[in-house]
Amino acid sequence: MRLQYPANIKIIRVPCTGKVDIMYILRAFEKGADGIYLVGCMEGECHFKNGNLRARKRVEEAQKILNTIGIGGERAQMYNLSSAEGTLFAQIAVEMTERIRKIGPNPIKLAKKKIAA
């Protein structure tokens, strides 16, 4: 299919979105990531029954924390896709990139630069 999407997206493979610890999300932002999203199976079709539902809850929890500390919860998202939806995958990559562009870079990066300067 080879639909083009922005190159700023790097994929990390996990056996199930249920394996994605909330700490993975938080720590990535701590290290300077601008945005993170999880792509799981369609709801009700999790290969491991309900890992994707747990993942969604964790993303929601991470969003709350990120909002509280001024990083912006919108930077973390959860999507559900089937393996036959390559087009949507590309659309989501574009959507996510646009979303992050709008919000701007991870504020920690700017703050850190200020400290250094």
Q: Which spans of this chain sit near other proteins (rule: CB under 8 A)?
A: 1-5, 7-8, 10-16, 18-24, 26-33, 47-51, 54, 58, 65, 68-71, 84-88, 90, 107-109, 111-112, 114-115
List C-alpha distances in Å: 94 to 3, 27, 46, 64, 101.
Answer: 11, 24, 25, 24, 10
Q: Which residues contact 34 (CB under 8 A, 6 or more apart)?
A: 75, 100, 105, 106
Nearer Cβ to other proteins, position 19 or 101? 19
We find the least distance from the C-beta atom of residue 116 to other proteins, in angstroms, to be 10
Nearer Cβ to other proteins, position 4 or 102? 4
List C-alpha distances in Å: 38 to 12, 71, 110.
Answer: 10, 18, 25
We find the least distance from the C-beta atom of residue 85 to other proteins, in angstroms, to be 5
We find the least distance from the C-beta atom of residue 35 to other proteins, in angstroms, to be 12
